[in-house]
Structures are given as C-alpha cells and as structure tokens.
C-alpha cells in the first residue's frame, strides 16, 4: 500500500495525480498546450498542500516514461527526479501507452460495442508527424502483446490483425488514421489523451513489485531521436 505522486507530461496535456493504495485521491490538469514548465510544479505543490502533505510523506514518485514529446518527457522526468533526490523516494516509470489504455478497459459504453471484448485488441496512438504514430497493442488485461513502435500508417497497416479480431484505436494519433483503416473491425474512440489518472493503478502495482528505476541514470523512452527544426521565417 502506497501514497504515490504521478506525473504525466508526454503530450500537450500536463497532469498530476495523487494515488493511495491504487485509488485516485486528487488530480489536476492543463490542456492548453506545451506549457508544462509553467504548470507542473504548481500542480504538484497545490495537490500536496490541499491534502496536507509534503514530499516526505510520499512513498514514491511515478512518471510517464514515453513515448511522446521530447521536451514534455524531459520536463516530467527531471521534475520527478528532483523530488526523488530531495526526499529519498523511489522512482517509478509507467508506460505512456499502457496508462492510456487503462480508462478504455473500464469504459462499459465502449466495451459494449465489441463483439468479444476479451479477444479484442486495444491500440493507443500518439501523434508523431505526418502519418506516423507511436503505438502498441494491449490485451483486454492491459498486457502488451505487440511492442511499442513508431508506425507510418497506410491502407495495409494492421491488415492481418484486423482480419482476425476487432481493434480499438484511440489517442490523438488515431483520428488521422481513420480514413486509411477501413476495416469493419477497426473501432475508433475520440478524446483519449494520456493523463496521470491512468497511471495510478499501474504505479501501485510497480511499487508492490519494487520495480523501481535508478534515479541517477533513468532516461525517458523517446523511441526516436530528437530532431531540431529551423523556423521557416526569421522573426528578428
């Protein structure tokens, strides 16, 4: 049983949750874009104060490990490391895509649309660039059945799997794939983003298993190398 602070900054949504024994106690988020450096520490401070806690009262800090935004992940991981160093707390890393899948597996409205929910595949997608997404396959028990990868989506993507079973596609990368994936077994769910709510149970399970990261050496799972871009116009 543990009191865990969860940090999610892998996409344009910045969120923080407080979990106790695998149950959600408190949650804050901002969906206004990549302003994580501004909001993250404010959210953490507010959640702790509202619950009459200090970092020393926590049992661990969990951070969404990626894949996702290079800058967002750096901000989340560096903040989590700072808390762990300052209060001698263990660091837990939670897969961003697996955490995205948690709310889908609890959504009865979505599950009721599936012919056989237990045999269905759940496929979170984070928008990368153009027709590329970060994705993986998860079972109805949220077990990874196809490893995380960067996929360029076209009409042939997942064709063999879609012939056999229903696949639920969700996340901000799924909408741009909908026109390409025309199978009747392709089911699309909108408005699903990574949040710290989906991390709560996964972080608790890792705490119980003592599955901790090395605070000094842990790095986010970027999946792809960072590519710097040059602005098209010189505004100076």
pLDDT tens for the chain, 236 residues long, are 799 999 999 999 999 999 999 999 999 999 887 789 989 999 999 999 999 999 999 999 999 999 999 999 999 999 999 999 999 999 999 999 999 999 999 999 999 999 999 999 999 999 998 889 999 999 999 999 999 999 999 999 999 999 999 999 999 999 888 989 989 999 999 889 999 999 999 999 999 999 999 999 999 999 865 444 444 454 44
How far is 171 from 56, CA to CA, in rounded Å? 35
Indicate where the chain has its CATH 3.30.420.40 domain(s). Answer: 3-96+194-208, 97-189
Tokens for 72?
Answer: 């967002």
How is residue 1 annotated by DSSP?
Answer: -
Architecture of the domain whose range is 3-96+194-208: 2-Layer Sandwich (3.30)
| Helix 200-208 with 96-104: angle, nearest 10 deg | 120
What CATH topology corresponds to 97-189? Nucleotidyltransferase; domain 5 (3.30.420)
Which candidate, 68, 60, 78, places its Cα nearest to that of 206? 60
């Amino acid at each position: 049983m543990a009191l865990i602070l969860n940090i999610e900054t892998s996409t344009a949504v910045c969120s923080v949750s407080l979990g106790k024994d695998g149950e959600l106690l408190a949650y804050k988020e901002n969906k206004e874009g990549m302003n994580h450096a501004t909001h993250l520490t404010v959210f953490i401070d507010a959640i702790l104060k509202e619950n009459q806690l200090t970092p020393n009262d926590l049992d661990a800090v969990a951070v969404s490990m990626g894949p996702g935004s290079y800058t967002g992940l750096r901000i989340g991981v560096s903040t989590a490391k700072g808390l762990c160093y300052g209060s001698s707390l263990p660091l837990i890393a939670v897969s961003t895509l697996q955490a995205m899948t948690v709310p889908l597996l609890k959504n009865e409205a979505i599950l009721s649309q599936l012919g056989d929910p237990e045999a269905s595949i759940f496929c979170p997608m984070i928008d990368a660039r153009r027709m590329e997404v970060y994705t993986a396959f998860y079972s109805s028990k949220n077990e990874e059945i196809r490893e995380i990868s960067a996929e360029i989506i076209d009409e042939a993507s997942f064709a063999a799997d879609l012939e056999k079973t229903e696949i639920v596609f969700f996340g901000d990368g799924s909408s741009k794939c909908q026109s390409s994936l025309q199978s009747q077994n392709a089911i699309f769910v909108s408005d699903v983003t990574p949040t710290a709510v989906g991390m709560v149970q996964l972080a608790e399970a890792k705490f119980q298993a003592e599955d901790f990261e090395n605070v000094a050496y842990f790095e986010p799972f970027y999946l792809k190398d960072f590519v710097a871009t040059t602005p098209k116009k010189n505004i100076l």
